[in-house]
């Protein structure tokens, strides 16, 4: 990816070296859909017999690609032979023209891969409400197919970005029945991030031999500890999609049950890849300068803990205080209070950077504001909040809110 002058200060040094996943070839090219002189169209070709799983936005306004994916994932066989992703245009609120663009894109991809158009999954990201002209996609498809490679991850990851400042990737390997199994994924996301399901876009690939229903269960479990736990600005995209594909090319015996003990390590590594990608999205939050972890304990339930954590993580007052290096812990208590979740005020405890701030519903006698201020002036911030009610817990990741967020979104369509 070309060097970006405004690259997030939280970005990794470089894109990771992702391994080949047997049964997967991928590429990205510059099709001129919205951006100049950068990749904006991705194609993945998948081995025959690949099964798909997905978690999609629950927004009431969705793009034509999301509608298509919902239909495909509702089929028992969940067969997939290809994935096409375009950046710069979300193909949302585009009516019949949007549906026609989806059909034309799927047909063009099916033609170069040699499969049924019904086995092509699609995703789009970018401006809402602008018609998507499929002609440049159709014209680019032969060259995109010619560029397919088992190692085309970085360009493909770049081609799905919009306001991102770096491409995102992660991988892991596991052993099932003595056979090495690979998991690799790419993601995009920077703003419009409080997924009511996932991130803006993420795509996971494995050569594990898994039925679609098993892959679906494992993906949903991984989402619960990763993409469901991030927020940048409290907004849920119309295009949020996390899709996973299992090619079945690994040599292990097929697994028919998500709770099969042979899948224990696979499930853990799938979750780890999702967590890695989700955290990269937060570290690339629009205008972000600090990565914030909110640890909630003592809630009525895990669901309640997540809601409390998101209330803290989404508070503009909390996020701007941290941006300014101000350890204003009263804003943390305020944000938890507005969550609507049960709290035992007389037992609430707060810590910043591992140091006690409040305890038993009042300021801690050993509170050291200078130490708390020093912590929030760093790049890695940890806030702990105990609701004093039960055993529920959750971990949420977010970023600070700076002037950069306003600048990026004020100029987004310019």
Which positions are catalytic? 199
Cβ(120)–Cβ(106) under 8 Å? yes
Residue with tokens 């996971």: 204
Residue 166: name the closest of 275, 277, 86 by CA.
277
Of 342, 361, 411, 123, the C-alpha closest to 245 is 123
User: Are 287 and 403 a contacting pair, CB within 8 Å?
Assistant: yes
Q: How far is the CA of 45 from the CAs of 66, 84, 189, in angstroms?
A: 19, 9, 23
CB 158 within 8 A of CB 167: yes
CA 369 to chain centre: 35
Q: Left (φ > 0), alpha (ψ -120 to 50) or beta: where does 251 sit?
A: alpha
φ/ψ of 49, rounded to 5, equals 95, 0
* 404 membership: H or E segment, kind and range: helix 403-410
H or E element, residue 304:
helix 302-314
- Rounded to a whole number of angstroms, the distance between the first and last alpha carbons of the chain is 22
Q: What is the DSSP string of 370-392?
A: HHHHHHHTSSEEEEEEE-SSSSE
Question: 3-class SS at 7?
Answer: coil
Tokens of 144: 């995109």
Contact by Cβ (8 Å): 106, 40: no
Strand duo 201-206 + 241-246: pairing: parallel
CA–CA dist 106, 122 (Å, integer): 7
252 φ/ψ sector (left φ>0, alpha ψ -120 to 50, else beta): beta
> Can you state the angle between helices 316-323 and 329-337, rounded to 10 degrees?
160
């Amino acid at each position: 990816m070309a060097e970006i002058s405004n690259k997030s200060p939280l970005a990794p040094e470089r894109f990771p070296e992702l391994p080949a996943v047997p049964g997967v070839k991928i590429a990205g090219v510059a099709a001129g859909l919205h951006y100049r002189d950068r990749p904006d169209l991705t194609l993945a070709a998948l081995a025959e017999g690949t099964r798909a799983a997905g978690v999609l936005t629950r927004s009431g306004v969705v793009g034509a690609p999301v509608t298509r994916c919902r239909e495909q994932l509702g089929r028992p066989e969940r067969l997939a032979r290809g994935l096409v992703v375009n950046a710069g245009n979300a193909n949302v609120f585009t009516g019949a023209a949007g549906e026609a663009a989806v059909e034309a894109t799927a047909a063009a991809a099916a033609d170069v891969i040699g499969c049924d158009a019904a086995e092509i999954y699609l995703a789009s990201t970018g401006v809402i409400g602008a018609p998507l002209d499929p002609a440049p996609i159709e014209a680019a498809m032969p060259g995109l197919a010619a560029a397919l490679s088992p190692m085309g991850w970085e360009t493909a990851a770049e081609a799905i970005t919009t306001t991102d400042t770096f491409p995102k990737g992660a991988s892991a390997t596991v052993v099932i029945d003595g056979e090495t199994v690979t998991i690799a994924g790419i993601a995009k996301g920077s703003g419009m991030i409080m997924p009511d399901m996932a991130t803006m876009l993420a795509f996971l690939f494995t050569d594990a031999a898994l039925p679609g229903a098993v892959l679906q269960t494992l993906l949903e479990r991984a989402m619960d500890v990763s993409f469901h736990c991030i927020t940048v600005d409290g907004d849920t995209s119309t295009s949020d999609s996390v899709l996973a594909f299992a090619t079945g090319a690994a040599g292990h015996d097929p697994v028919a049950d998500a709770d099969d003990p042979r899948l224990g390590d696979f499930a853990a590594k799938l979750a780890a890849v999702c967590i890695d990608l989700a955290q990269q999205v937060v570290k690339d939050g629009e205008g972000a300068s600090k990565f914030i972890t909110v640890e909630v304990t003592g809630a009525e339930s895990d669901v309640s803990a997540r809601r409390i954590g998101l209330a803290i993580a989404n508070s503009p007052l909390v996020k701007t205080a941290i941006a300014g290096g101000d350890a204003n812990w009263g804003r943390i208590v305020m944000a938890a209070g507005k969550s609507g979740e049960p709290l035992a005020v007389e037992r609430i405890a707060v810590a910043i950077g591992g140091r006690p701030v409040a305890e038993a519903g009042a300021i801690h006698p050993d509170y050291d504001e200078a130490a708390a201020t020093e912590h929030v002036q760093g790049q890695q911030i940890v806030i702990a909040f105990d609701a004093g009610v039960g055993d529920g817990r959750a971990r949420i990741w977010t970023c600070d809110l700076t002037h950069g967020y306003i600048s990026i979104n004020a100029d987004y369509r310019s």
